[in-house]
């Protein structure tokens, strides 16, 4: 029996309820609200890997996606657990499934976040060093913060 029973993690993109994920990302998440649903759907379709978190009834209550070169590095994005399901360790389980329990377990992983730093530190994430540079996006002529 899973530590997260009766919740389940699955990396089958066809199982995701994209409408449920989009509802959360477009209303609750502080990042990426500039996207339209078609942008998000394209991101999922082209993702290297997606992982969903499902409640006992099979409803999508959490999500994470990654893009990668498939060889040495990956970027973690759009990680969330619905508010009503927080406090059960599901965020930790979702990140574990994506990073440590998948094909990228030995990769260099990157992400941008304003919160959950302690969670990500537990998976080896740390502030970048002086070798890391970044060019900020100006998607659709607007100023987008990472």
Residue 134 lies inside a defined structural domain of this protein: no
Residue written as token pair 């209303």: 27
pLDDT of residue 141 exceeding 60, the answer is no
User: How far, in Å, CA of 24 to CA of 89, rounded?
Assistant: 19
Is the model's pTM score more than 0.85?
yes
Categorize the per-residue pLDDT at 45 as very low, low, confident or very high, splitting at 50, 70 and 90. Answer: very high
Report H helices in the chain: 18-27, 37-45, 90-99, 117-121
The pLDDT of residue 136 is 82
DSSP bridge partners of 63: 52, 80
Residue 43 lies inside a defined structural domain of this protein: yes
Reported residue count of the chain is 146
Domain containing residue 104: CATH number: 3.40.630.30
Provide the residue range defining the domain that includes 106.
8-122
Residue 85 lies inside a defined structural domain of this protein: yes
Ramachandran quadrant class, 57 (left: phi over 0; alpha: psi -120 to 50; beta: rest): alpha
Residue 1 lies inside a defined structural domain of this protein: no
Higher pLDDT, 1 or 4: 4
User: How far, in Å, CA of 119 to CA of 92, rounded?
Assistant: 7
Mean per-residue pLDDT of the chain: 91
Closest among 82, 96, 70 to 21, alpha carbons compared: 82
User: How far, in Å, CA of 119 to CA of 73, rounded?
Assistant: 20
Percentage above 90 pLDDT, the chain:
79
The pLDDT tens digits of the residues spanning 113-124 come to 999 999 999 999
Residue 136 lies inside a defined structural domain of this protein: no
Residue 98 lies inside a defined structural domain of this protein: yes
Categorize the per-residue pLDDT at 92 as very low, low, confident or very high, splitting at 50, 70 and 90. Answer: very high
Residue 3 lies inside a defined structural domain of this protein: no
Higher pLDDT, 144 or 123: 123
Residue 69 lies inside a defined structural domain of this protein: yes
* Cβ–Cβ < 8 Å for 76, 30: no
Q: Token pair for residue 119?
A: 């969670």
How many domains, the chain?
Answer: 1
The pLDDT of residue 137 is 77
Percentage above 70 pLDDT, the chain:
93
């Amino acid at each position: 029996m899973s530590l997260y029973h009766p919740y389940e993690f699955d990396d089958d993109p066809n199982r995701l309820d994209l409408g449920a994920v989009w509802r959360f990302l477009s209303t609750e998440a502080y990042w990426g609200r500039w996207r339209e649903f078609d942008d998000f759907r394209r991101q999922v379709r082209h993702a290297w890997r997606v992982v969903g978190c499902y409640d006992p009834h099979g409803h999508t209550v959490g999500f994470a996606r990654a893009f990668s070169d498939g060889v040495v590095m990956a970027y973690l994005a759009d990680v969330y657990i619905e508010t009503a399901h927080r406090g059960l360790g599901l965020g930790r389980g979702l990140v574990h499934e994506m990073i440590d329990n998948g094909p990228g377990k030995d990769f260099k992983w990157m992400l941008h976040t304003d919160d959950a730093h302690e969670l990500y530190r537990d998976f080896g994430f740390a502030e970048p060093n002086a070798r890391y540079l970044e060019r900020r996006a100006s998607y659709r002529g607007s100023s987008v913060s990472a």
